[in-house]
Amino acid sequence: MQETEFLARAQAMQDQLVAWRRDIHAHPELSFQENRTARLVVDTLSDMGIEAQAGVGKTGVVGFLGEGRPVIGIRADMDALPIDE
């Protein structure tokens, strides 16, 4: 996928991306308690036709695209910090 195509797809999804961000921010979960967020990620990946495995490292999620090698991993934090805003 070319950079221009990637940017076009991201722009087309902007409203959904913002909605996900706001939803996750409105429901913060501390480390190893991100059950709601993990469920959102699994459901979203499944809706996109991507196989997903929950419960990795307790509350982590792994999505699988394609088969064989090479393999690429992308890691992102889902937990919140206990702070007052």
What's the pLDDT tens digit per position in 3-62?
899 899 999 999 999 999 999 999 999 999 999 999 999 999 999 999 999 999 999 999
3-state class of 16 per DSSP? helix
Question: Are the C-beta atoms of residues 61 and 54 closer than 8 Å to each other?
Answer: yes
Residue 85: predicted pLDDT: 73
Q: Which residues pair with 60 in a beta bridge?
A: 56
Phi, psi of 10, deg, nearest 5: -65, -40
Give the whole-angstrom CA distance, residue 44 versus residue 59: 16
- What band does 71 get if pLDDT is binned at 50, 70 and 90? confident
**Nearest-5° Cα angle at 38, 5 to 28:** 100
Q: Is the pLDDT of residue 81 over 80?
A: yes
